[in-house]
Each structure stands twice: as structure tokens, then as C-alpha cells.
Amino acid sequence: MKTKDLHSIYWLVAAIVIVRAAIQILVINEYGYFVDEFYYLACSDRLASGYVDHPPLSIWILKFVRVLFGDSLAAIRSVSILAGALTVILSARLAYRLGAGCFGISFAALAVAIVPVYLGMNKLYSMNSLDLVFWTGSIVLLLRVLERPTLANWAVLGVLLGVALLNKHSILFLGFAIAVGLLFTSHRRLFLTPGPYLTGTIALVLFAPNLYWEIQNHWPTLEFMENARAFKNYFTPAHFLVGQVLEIHPLLPPLWLLGLGALLLTEALRPFRILAFMYLALLVLFLATAAKTYYFAPAYPMLLAAGAFQLERLSDARRGLRGLAIALTVLGGGALLPMSLPLLAPPDYIAYQKFLGLEPPQLENHRLGPMPQHFASMFGWPELVEAAGEATASLSETERAEAVFLGSSYGMAGALEWARNSGRDLPAVGSGHNNYYQWGPPIPDSGRAPRVILAVGYERTDLEPYCGSLQVASVARCEYCMGFRQELPIYVCRAPRSDLSELWPEIKRFI
């Protein structure tokens, strides 16, 4: 490729990345903290080599960001915006490695930039944004390994996969897909070389701290995953497949299906056919394991890159087709931006979603409200903190010193703990949910066993057997929350019939 063409590509991809990041920055403070962000902030106050529902890397990074820049939304979400930019750049790199020219590379970047589920992931701080980078970067490295299968290249791939495992265990799905892809293509001969085993060994060594934590804590993540699959996650095969269309973008199936077909059938992409088998292996795996729709999302940059390559070849003599593809992608991407990013006030969003006739795929078995889950979980936290303050103020000074908050979920506990750490006069906070359970029962300011429990997120019938007296102290109301949080009473449980430390195993929730 000519130097002039490379410079054009750099500028085009840079422009796409900058515009995307600018839109994200514009709305970075809208709606508020997401439920999981409060939990991750709590985890970053208790650094470890593992947590019940995720490995430690994203928490270590969050702690680093908080030390340098604080815990404002702008500070912590800047990591996800950067991760989104890297995902777009790596997708362009994928198209380049497949042999695409200026149009194919820049169009791959544009397509990945407007994918709704990627924009949704990148609007929050979580390991999912980093996961997109690790998947796409690993696939770029895989293609380099297949081109030059030196031990050095295998080792670099092992390092990246090992670090990725410390971010999210789902990178194991990618490892499985790579193994299947090698097996079903001419690359299977590489199993007779030390390279793949070097990659696996390095990844395992880097993953060892988290693996040791799992062993020491009796494999809590496996319990969490099984409970989530059985009781929380929403799945039907049809819902999963339709979700791929909605989450990747309703206008993009022709592109990624074109990419899949080109990888399977064309001579030009035959050296990269492994990517098609990787995708198909993941599709079978996720359908068999009743996965959430977004688990599949990191697999699409490689198909979008292949689709952009093939579109470029098909449109060499029909330049008008390229203009039409760009126009549809830009206009379609813009039309769905409010579905992923908090660009509209809630009433306007609800009206706009009704106008489009599209709803994001349901992810969990929770009662929904007027907003989809990925937005609804950003509402209601200031109202909860205010209601918690009212409940605390209803206690006598003596009761206040012997009181604790108990949240039924890590989100409720995390929001209250963040408020307490930010200076609100609230008792110590605990929960039986996921890693809050591992941290043990909260301890009142008196240092003694709690004699008053402020419970939020529980049903009255769940609390009555354990309380000498039980009354509602306040109610947190939220119009745009998830259905189960729209009216949330805070109970005052006085004279508990058992010590909280004795009850702790009964309130454990790994889900």
C-alpha cells in the first residue's frame, strides 16, 4: 500500500475515533452512575486477586484511575471511552491484515464505531469495554501468528490472553474458538509445534493469581455462574439470535453476513477462514450454554472487517455503492445513537423508542420499567441515598451508633457505601450479594454487634421472622428505574432475634 494511502487511512480512522469519543464525552455525566459502577468502586476499596463475579484487573485499573483522577463519572468512564477508541483502531487493523484498502479499512472502523452494543458498553466503567479490546487485539495477534508462527509471536499472544483472563473469564470462549478454528482448517498442523502450548502455558501462569484466589475461596465464581444461568439470565434461542441483529445494528447484518460468507467461500480470504470457524464455534457454544446476547458481541469486529474487505472488492467498479453504504451506515448509526447513549431526556427517549419500534434485548429476569435495563440502572440512586438519610435521621443517637444498612443487592449497598464514603451521615453498609458477602457483615460505629438493621430491597415477609419490631422508615421512589426499584421501602429492624454474623450464611446470594 502506498504511503499516501496509509496517511489517508490514518486520518479517516482518526476522524471516526475522535467524533465517536466526542459524542461519548458530551453525555458522560448524563443519567448518573450505573448500578455496577458503585459495586466496582466498592471493590476498588478492597483490592484482591479475585472477586466472586469477576477477575481483578479492571478493579486494579479503576483503583489506579481513582488515585490519579478521583471517582467522578468523567474520570472513571474515560477508561471505557479510550477502550472504545482502541477497539475501533484494532478493527481497522484487522481489515488491513485481511488485505483491505483505504475504503475497506476506514469502512470497517466506521461500522464498528456505530455498533450499539459497543457504544453501550463504552458508556460505563466495566470490564466489558476492556474485553472488547482484548478480543479484537488477540484476533489481530492470531493472524500475525498464523502468518509467522514463531515462538516469539506465540508468546506475545499468550501474554495478551493471560492478561485478558485477569480482566474477564469469558476470554476462555475465545481460546476455545481459536482451538476449534485451528482444528477445522489447514492450520491444524500447528498443534504439532510447541507454539500453541507455549501460548497456553504463558496465559495460565499470568492467570495464576486469580486461579489461586478461586481455589482458596472454594470456587465462588463457578457458583455465581451456575446461579446466574439458572435464575437470573433471560434466554431463548430466538431471543439470542434476534439480539445479535439488534445489538450489532439492524442495518449491519448484510455486512457481517457478507464477511462470514467471504471467509467461508472466497479464495481471497481463504488464508483467514479460521475466523469463520471461530465465529461458528462461538455461536454453537453460546446457544448451548444459554448465554446472554452481549456475550457474542466481541466476535463481530472480525466479521465486520471481513465484510468491509469484501464490500470494497464488490464495489471497485460501482463507486456509488460505496457512497450508499457510507450514507446508510452514518444515518442508521445516528438514528440509533439514543438507544445506546443517554442523549435524550427519559420522556423523549421513551417516545423515540416507541417511534422506532425497537427495544433492546432483555438480559435478565427482572421486572422492567419504562426505560430499558441499561438505562434504568442509572436512575434512582440519589433518591435512595436521600431515603437512607431520612431513615437514619429517624433513629435515636444511641440507635444510630448501633445500626447498619443491609442491602439486598450490591448496587444498593454500593450506592449507600459510596455516599457514606463521600461524607453522608449513614451507618456502615453490607450485603449478602456476591463479593459483599465475602467482605462479611457490616460493623456499627459502636464496634459491637448491630442492634438496629436498616434493610433495603427486602420484602417485609422476609424480614419479619428475624426482627423484634419492624417498620417502614422511608421510601425511595424513582420513576425511570427498573420495576422492582420504583418504590423501595427502607425498613427499620429493631431487636434482631439473632446476631447478624449468625444470619450471614442465610443471606448469601451469588448471582
Q: What residues does 474 pair with on adjacent strands? A: 490
User: Does 37 share its domain with 150?
Assistant: yes
Tally of domains within the chain:
2
380-423 residue pLDDT tens: 999 999 999 999 999 999 999 999 999 999 999 999 999 999 99
User: Does 291 share its domain with 386?
Assistant: no
CA dihedral in degrees (247, 249, 253, 257; nearest 10)? -60
Predicted pLDDT of residue 81: 98
Whether the per-residue pLDDT at 366 is higher than 80: the answer is no
Tell whether 356 is covered by a domain. Answer: no
User: Does 259 share its domain with 394?
Assistant: no
User: Does 88 share its domain with 224?
Assistant: yes
User: Does 206 share its domain with 137?
Assistant: yes
**Last residue within a domain, chosen from 351, 370, 401:** 351
Mean pLDDT of 144-150: 97
Tell whether 395 is covered by a domain. Answer: yes
**Last residue within a domain, chosen from 333, 351, 369:** 351
Neighbour-count burial of 52, counting CB atoms closer than 10 A to its CB (0-12 exposed, 13-18 middle, 19+ buried): buried
User: Does 86 share its domain with 193?
Assistant: yes
Tell whether 330 is covered by a domain. Answer: yes
Domain that holds residue 468: 381-507
Predicted pLDDT of residue 233: 79
- The angle at the Cα of 209, spanning 207 to 215, to the nearest 5 degrees, equals 100
Q: What grid cell was written down for 135? A: 478480543
Tell whether 369 is covered by a domain. Answer: no
User: Does 271 share its domain with 389?
Assistant: no
**Last residue within a domain, chosen from 330, 351, 372:** 351
151-176 residue pLDDT tens: 999 999 999 999 999 999 999 999 99
5-19 residue pLDDT tens: 778 889 999 999 999
Beta strands in 323-402 (DSSP E): none
This prediction has a pTM of 0.94
User: Does 342 share its domain with 445?
Assistant: no
User: Does 200 share its domain with 269?
Assistant: yes
176-214 residue pLDDT tens: 999 999 999 999 999 999 999 999 999 999 999 999 999
Tell whether 163 is covered by a domain. Answer: yes
Whether the per-residue pLDDT at 363 is higher than 90: the answer is no
User: Does 248 share its domain with 132?
Assistant: yes
Distance CA 335, CA 329 (A): 10
Residue 34 · residue 377 · CB < 8 Å? yes
Three-state secondary-structure class, residue 496: strand
Tell whether 360 is covered by a domain. Answer: no
Predicted pLDDT of residue 217: 97
User: Does 42 share its domain with 145?
Assistant: yes
Residue 365: pLDDT band with limits 50, 70, 90: low
User: Does 151 share its domain with 255?
Assistant: yes
Mean pLDDT of 57-77: 97
Q: What residues does 406 pair with on adjacent strands? A: 430, 455
Tell whether 262 is covered by a domain. Answer: yes
Tell whether 373 is covered by a domain. Answer: no
Residue 362: pLDDT band with limits 50, 70, 90: low
